[in-house]
């Protein structure tokens, strides 16, 4: 994964948004229409909160509340953590890992919502899963990943996932394919 790519290259520009005075029922319908698991709460074009599927389950369903009678302002998470369009994918992933979140609204210099980046967006452009795994290891556990040339990811020859890839002539090979090369 080229971690210096700015999030503006990967982010979703058409964001599911909602106002704080709308009902949760209205929000659920919008989320279904957009095919997403969250909506950004906006006021005057600026994000003031976020509502996720987890919020709906824990704050509505688990409490047996009627969605048409609950307002967004009563279930949204606020304040919302945002990033700028030129933030790198690596920095966005780092924020997500450290804060335990999966979505980051993207705002311009005036604070207006211009997009959203999710953990799935970052994974979708990650061609080198080894770097993402190293990022997770370093940030989530608190120590740097090993410096050895051991890779995790997809074998370039057979296409299977392996925790033990070895680089040979520019290809990352699993143990089985490495044996067949010898």
Instruction: Count the neighbouring beta carbons within 10 Å of the beta carbon of residue 151.
Output: 22
pLDDT in tens, 143-154: 444 444 566 778
Q: Who wins on pLDDT, 139 or 101?
A: 101
Q: What is the pLDDT of residue 137?
A: 55
- Ramachandran area for residue 170 (φ above 0: left; ψ -120 to 50: alpha; else beta): left
Average pLDDT taken over every residue of the chain: 85
CA distance 133 to 129: 6
- What's the average model confidence in pLDDT over 51-67? 94
Q: Who wins on pLDDT, 114 or 130?
A: 114
pTM of the predicted model as reported, rounded to 2 decimal places: 0.67
* The token pair that represents 39 in the structure block: 């909506």
In the Cβ-directed half-sphere of 16, how many Cα atoms lie within 13 Å? 20
Report helix, strand or coil for 55: helix
Q: How confident is the model at residue 131 (pLDDT cuts 50, 70, 90)?
A: low
Q: What is the pLDDT of residue 173?
A: 84
Q: What is the pLDDT of residue 144?
A: 46
Q: What is the pLDDT of residue 162?
A: 79
Confirm if 180 and 158 have CB atoms less than 8 A apart. Answer: no
- What's the average model confidence in pLDDT over 62-80? 95
Share of the chain above pLDDT 70, in %: 84
In the Cβ-directed half-sphere of 88, how many Cα atoms lie within 13 Å? 8
Q: How confident is the model at residue 156 (pLDDT cuts 50, 70, 90)?
A: confident
All domains of the chain in start order, with CATH: 7-124 (3.10.580.10), 129-181 (no CATH)
* The token pair that represents 167 in the structure block: 């680089």
- Vertex 41 angle, CA 36 and 46, to 5°: 120
Buried b (16+ CB within 10 A) or exposed e, 45-55: ebbbbbbbeeb
pLDDT in tens, 102-124: 999 999 999 999 999 998 888 87
* The token pair that represents 176 in the structure block: 């089985």
């Amino acid at each position: 994964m080229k971690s210096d790519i700015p999030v503006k290259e990967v982010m979703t520009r058409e964001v599911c948004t909602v106002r704080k005075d709308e009902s949760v029922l209205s929000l659920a319908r919008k989320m279904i229409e957009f095919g997403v698991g969250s909506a950004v709460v906006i006021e005057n074009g600026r994000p003031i909160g976020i509502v996720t599927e987890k919020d709906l389950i824990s704050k509505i369903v688990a409490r047996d509340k009627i969605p048409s009678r609950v307002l967004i302002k009563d279930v949204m998470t606020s304040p919302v953590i945002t990033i700028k369009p030129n933030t790198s994918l690596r920095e966005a992933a780092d924020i997500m890992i450290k804060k335990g979140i999966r979505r980051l609204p993207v705002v311009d210099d005036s604070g207006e919502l211009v997009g959203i980046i999710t953990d799935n967006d970052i994974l979708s452009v990650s061609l080198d899963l080894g770097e993402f795994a190293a990022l997770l290891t370093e940030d989530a556990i608190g120590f740097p990943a090993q410096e050895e040339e051991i890779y995790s990811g997809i074998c370039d020859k057979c296409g299977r996932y392996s925790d033990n890839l070895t680089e040979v002539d520019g290809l990352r090979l699993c143990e089985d394919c490495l044996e067949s090369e010898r």
